[in-house]
Structures are given as structure tokens and as C-alpha cells.
Chain A
Amino acid sequence: MRTIKNLAIILLVVFTISGCNHKSDKITIGIIQYANQSILDSVYSGIQSKFKEYGEKYKIEYQVAHGDPILNASISKQFIHDSVNLIIAMGTPSAQAVINGTKRIPVVFTAITDPVGTKLANSLDNPGGNKTGYTNMQPFDKEIELIKLIKPDVKKVGIITNSSESNCVAGMVYVRKALEEFKISYEELDASTSSEITACAQSLSNKCDVFFISPSNTIYENLGAIKKEAQKKNIMIVGGDRSAVTKYGSIGTYSYNFVEMGINTAELAIKILDQKLNPGIIPVSRPANTYLYINIGAAKELGLTIPEVLIKNAVKD
């Protein structure tokens, strides 16, 4: 009985605290982020900087689910219950939970690799319902083209994938298509956890002379292991994000500026709120600019020369 009494007291205190919320008449924007991952964090910093320009006009409610499905559900329910004016969702599961929960509050999703495949949008041109947003599907065709330009005599490209990540599965469709268009042979190995990546890299390094970094978070987190195996056998690494080029020996990649993508997302959200637009008829867009990053040092180590055109187009750090 005493425990029940104690519990009653705890609950009473807690209910009183939670009752003391003040509703303000500012425009509230709920931002839900599925996990702290470098791309999503950059996008958020972009969103934040844009909303800061408006000073006190917008109130930002920012929550991170840390990859926890219960937390993800609780946060999205909370936003919908609080009737925020607009929800920005980063990460596919968060976007899905929000869109499933509300047909009324406008939703802007961002940094979603495959909005159509994950049924967040009916099509890129006409997402339908109460949602639209930005996709970050990388320009894979251009990245594969880099292989041909820098190493025309490529024998085989090795790719470590993670079939448990929908981003990776969706992206690989485009990667395979590009590889087949350029008539480059390739081999894929699947690693679902960090611990399997080294083994896969070792196995691939015996057969391949180029590594392509697939769009998987697990792979991005373990680029160090891949770099180590590649250096042993003088293998060229291509693709990945910007940090793959600057830190992990990738010879080059095309990438978006994710802070810029965050700013675009915030602008889209503000446009929807100001002009009372129907998000369902606004096409899902890619960031306007792609940036080429090149690591000349890594090329020299492998004895390769990078064509002048590429060096001219690349972003100078």
C-alpha cells in the first residue's frame, strides 16, 4: 500500500508540473530528428540559422529521437497533440511517424534519400497530402563518372553495402545503374554491423582495385577501417561525403552542402506558412548546387593524375 501512496504523490507532483505550460502566440515549428548523425546535424544547423534571422517570430521545438522507436513515436505524438504550426522531420522513420500521425499539420521532410520508395511522397513532382520536402539522393552517376575519368583502366569496383538501411538499398539502385552504364564490373558485399566491415574490406581488397563508398551510415562511421585496408593494397577510394575526402582518403566525391540544404528547408517551411500553401502540390526537390571535392594528395600516393577539368571545378578548401 505504501508504494501506491508514494506513487500517488509522485504522480500528483508530476501532473502539477506538467500542467504549468504556457501557450504562446508565436508561430511554433516542431523539428524532429531521428538520430545525431553528421548530415542531419548539419541540416539542423542550417535550419536553425535561417529561423534565427527572423528573431522572435518563430518558436522552435527541437527534439532528437536518438534512434529510439518509442521516443520517435512519443515526440511525433507530442508535436501533433500540441498542434504546432508546422513540423520539419529529419530521417525517414521520423518523417513516417509524423506523416502517419497527422493529415492536417503541414510537414516538411528533409535529408530523406528515397521519399518515393519509403512512400513519404506519391511522386517527386506531386507528393500529395500535407507533405513535401528535400531529398539528398547523391548524384551517384557523377561519382561513378569520376572513376572513369581518374582511373580509365579500372578492373573491378568493390562496394560494401548495408541492406538493413533503406537509404543504402535505395541509393544502390542508382549506383548499379550508373556502373552498368559506364560498363564497369563490380562486386558487392553486405555488412550489417561495424564489426563485419573490416572482414568485407579485406575480402574485396583481394579482387578489386577501386572501393566505392555506399550511402550507408554504418559505412560512413567506419571509413577508417576501409581506408586502412585500401592503403595496404593501393586501392583507390571514391565517393562518400565530404569528410570521406578530407579525412579518409577518398579521391573525390560530389556532395551537397547540408547546411545549405537546411537553409533551403527552412525557407520552404516559411514559404508554406506565410503563403498558406498546400504542401502536397509542391514538388520534392534536391539541393540546387552540387560540390565536387577532390583529394589530390591521395591521387599522388596512388600514382594517378586528376584531369585539369576536375581540379578546376573542385571546391578549394
Chain B
Amino acid sequence: MDYIGIIELAFIFSIFVLGMIISFRLLGFADLTIEGSFTSGGAIFAILLSNGINPYLSFLMAILGGGIAGLCTASLHCYAGINKLLSGIITLTMLYTVNLRIMGRSNMYMGNTTMLNLFKQPWFEFSLLLLICLMIFLLVKLLLSTNIGLFLRATGENEVFVRNLKENPKKFIILGLVVSNSLIALSGCLFAQYVGYSDIGIGQGMLVSMLTAMIIGENIVRPSTLNRQIISAFFGAVVFQFLYSLALEIGVKPIDLKIIIGLLLISFLVLAKYGNRNTHNKNIGSSFI
């Protein structure tokens, strides 16, 4: 079994899960934009790279692109007064066209010149992903620990409370979605580089897969504090990716994979429910999922 490969993909997906935790858990905003911004991350990177732009600059632009998608969803909700779920769906629908327009085609191969294989040694890819992952986790931790971060978390728990403190909750919803979608675009950009191509269908089904990863993570690391919540993203991604590879390794037909993931998810949820019946530690964040 390719353990290095599993960990590498887990690094990439843990950033996705982290972005999802910010919107789904901390803000209580079921943001469906993420499947689109995942694709955008890869698409923007691929097109800029093929036009001869420096890979690091393209990387930053890809993150920015995700942020704009998040801004769009948040504005639709905060200023146009559209329902949370619906504003995500609207942006997701529009992103499909936007992503096709960005790439000018539906599939783009990047070849050899990505960030991940700047140096040909196999350790480079692993250490770069590790470094990016560590940096992102640290930055998110720092952001969420500041006053702004506290307000962001408070917005998800109780908007009235934030308003009583003479702060505008809209500001924090926007911030949260921009950060969350930037992280997901970053993850999409890394994934596209990792597999070597960007495709319009790359984000399809990611929402459910990563939601599974998030819930698995939360059941391994009970997210009773902010640190534990952040760390749970990584463990969720590792176990999720491990299960995927394991199923292939022991010869499970890929067609049966989803039901196995579903059954595992059920067993994790049941295990968590009855395993911790007597403890009263409340998890942080919104628990609508």
C-alpha cells in the first residue's frame, strides 16, 4: 500500500476539510459553493501556468479566485437577502460557466512545470505539501484566535449576540466564506497539480466525500476546543483517504466503495454516540449536520 501517497492526498484534502469546518461548523453556513471553488482553484492555476506565468504567482491567483467565489456567495446572502443554501447553489451554478470560460476547454493537462515537481526528487513533493499544510493550519489557528476570529465564531453561534456588541455579523460571514473558499481553491489547485490535470468535473462529489472526512475526523478527535476542531480536519482526511486506498487494496470493487464509506460513516456516528454517552463535553461550533 502506498502510504506516502495516502498522506500526500490527505494533506491536500485536510485543507479542504479545514475550509469546510469554517463555513459548515463555525459559521453554520451550509456553503455549496465549495465544489465550484475547488474546480476554480485547479482551472485558474492551469490556465495561468500554461500562459507562462510563474507557478507561485499562479498559485496565489488561484487562492484569490476561490476567495472571490466565496465573496460572491456571502454577498448574495448578506446583501441580496438570498437564503444561505440557495446563494451557494447560485454561485455554484454560475461557477460552472466561469470555470469553463477560464480554461477555455473542459480539460487541461499541466505537464511537468507545476510547483510540486519543481525538483524531481520524490521527497520534494511530500515536504512541500507538508509545509503548505502546516502553514495553512497555523494561519487558520492564528486567525481564529484573534478578536476577529472570535467574532466570526460568535456569528455562527449567535448573531444577536454579535449585534449587541455593536458589530455587524455580515462582515464576519463574508470574511468566513472568503477564507473558507480560498482554502478550498488552494486545495483544488494542489490536487490539480498532484494529478497533473485540471478538469471541469474535478469538484463533482467532493462535498459529500469531504463531509464524510469531516465527520470521521470529528469522531476521532472530539472537537471540544478550537485546536481539536482544527486538528480533526487532518485526521479526518487521513482516515478517509486511507479507507479509500484500503478498499482498493483488498479488492473492493470501486462501484461498492460509496456504500462502504456510508456504512463506515454510520458506524463512526453510532460509535461516537454510544461510546461517549456519559461525558458531557459539548462540541464547539454549529451542530446542524
Contact = CB atoms under 8 A, between A and B. Distances in A.
A3 B220 contact: yes
B97 to A, nearest CB: 9
Interface string A63-99: 1111111111111111011100000000011001101
B219 A63 contact: no
B106 A163 contact: yes
B209 A70 contact: yes
Interface in B102-121: 105-111
Give the interface residue-count category, chain B: 35 or more
A67 B258 CA distance: 13
Interface in B149-207: 191, 194-197, 199-202, 204-206
Nearest to B249: A18
Contacts of B271: 3, 6
Interface in A43-72: 63-72
A67 B254 contact: no
B197 A3 contact: no
Nearest to B13: A70
Nearest to B203: A69
Given A6-B275, A81-B4, A99-B109, 11 more contacts: A3-B220, A18-B1, A64-B254, A65-B254, A71-B257, A78-B248, A96-B197, A97-B195, A164-B106, A164-B201, A192-B96
A215 to B, nearest CB: 13
B272 interface: yes
B211 interface: no
A18 B247 CA distance: 10
Given A93-B107, A169-B106, A66 B249 contact: no
A24 interface: no
A69 B5 contact: no
A209 to B, nearest CB: 30
A166 B195 contact: no
B220 to A, nearest CB: 6
Contact of A67 (B105, B106, B194, B201): B201
Given A70-B209, A93-B197, A165 B106 contact: yes
Given A70-B209, A96-B195, A163-B106, A3 B275 contact: yes
A72 B195 contact: yes
B9 A74 contact: yes
B126 interface: no
A64 to B, nearest CB: 5
A120 interface: yes
B287 to A, nearest CB: 17
B231 to A, nearest CB: 12
Contacts of B110: 100
A64 B252 CA distance: 11
A71 B107 CA distance: 17
A73 B195 contact: yes
Contacts of B141: none
Contact of A69 (B105, B202, B239, B257): B202
A285 interface: no
A165 to B, nearest CB: 6
Contacts, number: 128
B205 to A, nearest CB: 6
Given A63-B248, A70-B244, A97-B195, A3 B222 contact: yes
Given A66-B254, A119-B109, A14 B199 contact: no
A276 interface: no
Interface string A2-40: 111011000100100110010000000000000000000
| Chain A binding surface, main DSSP class | helix
A282 B118 CA distance: 28
Interface centre among A11, A73, A118 (most CB of B within 10 A): A73
A225 to B, nearest CB: 21
A120 B109 contact: yes
B100 interface: yes
B245 to A, nearest CB: 5
A167 B275 CA distance: 51
Contacts of A82: 2
A57 to B, nearest CB: 21
Contacts of A17: 250
B244 A71 contact: yes
B92 to A, nearest CB: 13
B197 A18 contact: no
Nearest to B5: A77
A82 B201 CA distance: 27
Contacts of A70: 9, 13, 206, 209, 241, 244
Contacts of A93: 107, 195, 197, 199, 201
Contact of A74 (B106, B200, B244): B244
Nearest to A65: B254
Contacts of A3: 219-220, 222, 271-272, 275-276
A187 B208 CA distance: 39
A120 B111 CA distance: 9
Given A93-B107, A118-B107, A163-B106, A2 B276 contact: yes
Task: List the 7 shortest-distance A-B pairs measured between CB atoms, nearest first.
Answer: A100-B196, A81-B2, A119-B109, A96-B197, A166-B107, A77-B5, A97-B195
B195 A69 contact: yes
B259 interface: no
B275 A68 contact: no
A101 B245 contact: no
A100 B196 CA distance: 5
Contacts of B204: 67, 69
B80 interface: no
Contacts of A7: 220, 239
